[in-house]
Amino acid sequence: MSALTRRRALQLCSVALAGGTAGCATSSRNSSVDPTLSELDANNYDFRSYTVSVLVLDGDEPVYSAEKEIGPAEPEESDSSEVARTGGARFEGFPTDVGDYVLYAWRDDQPTSEWAAFDFREWDTPCLGLNIQIGDVTGSQTGEVSIWYTKDPDRCPAETTTASE
C-alpha cells in the first residue's frame, strides 16, 4: 500500500474543508492550555480487514498523514458474533503539540462526508489520547469509524496528567 502523498493530502484537505470545516476557525477553549497528543491508536471490531487513514490539519495546511492496515477482529467462537480480540495498530510520528489542529480519520475509500473528525480546539486539557475505532463491540456499527478519546492516557507525562471523566 502506498503512503499518502503530500499532493493527495492537499486534495483530501480541500475536499474536507469544503465538506464542513468552514466556520470552525475560532477556538472554543477557555484557557491558554494547548493539548498534547500522547497516543494515536486504532482498533477494528469488524470481522474484515481495513486500511485506516488519518490526516491532521492546521487550518488548511496538512501537518501529518498516515495509513495503517488493520487486521480483522477475531470472534469469540467460530460461529459467534462476539468479539474476542480486536485488530489494532499504533500510529507513530504524529505531532504532539496539537493546539489548533483537527484530525480526520476514515477507512479505505470512505467518502469525505463520512470521515470522523476530532477538533483539538474544543478541549481544555493538557493531554489527550485518541483511539480510532472501526465498528463497535455490539456489531451494530459494522465498518463505521469513530474517534474515542481519553483525557488521562497512561503515556502522558506526569506533569500533564488530569483526572479521567
Kindly state the cell numbers that stand for 134: 472501526
Kindly state the cell numbers that stand for 72: 480483522
The domain ranges of the chain are: 6-20+33-160
Q: Residue 86 above 60 pLDDT?
A: yes
The mean of the pLDDT values for the chain is: 76
Query: Which residue would you say has higher pLDDT here, 33 or 17?
Result: 33
Using alpha carbons, select from 62, 51, 54, 47 the residue that is nearest to residue 14: 62
Mean pLDDT score, 10-29? 39
Query: Which residue would you say has higher pLDDT here, 135 or 140?
Result: 135
d(CA 57, CA 71): 27
Residues 6 or more apart from 158 whose CB is under 8 A from it? none
Kindly state the cell numbers that stand for 11: 486534495
Say what the pLDDT of residue 157 is: 61
89-124 pLDDT per residue, tens: 999 999 999 989 999 999 998 898 999 999 999 988
**Whole-model pTM over 0.85:** no
Q: What SS3 state is found at 136?
A: coil
Distances in Å between the Cα of 134 and the Cα atoms of 23, 48, 62, 63, 125 are 28, 10, 23, 24, 26
Say what the pLDDT of residue 16 is: 41
Kindly state the cell numbers that stand for 63: 501537518
pLDDT band at 27 (very low <50, low <70, confident <90, very high): very low
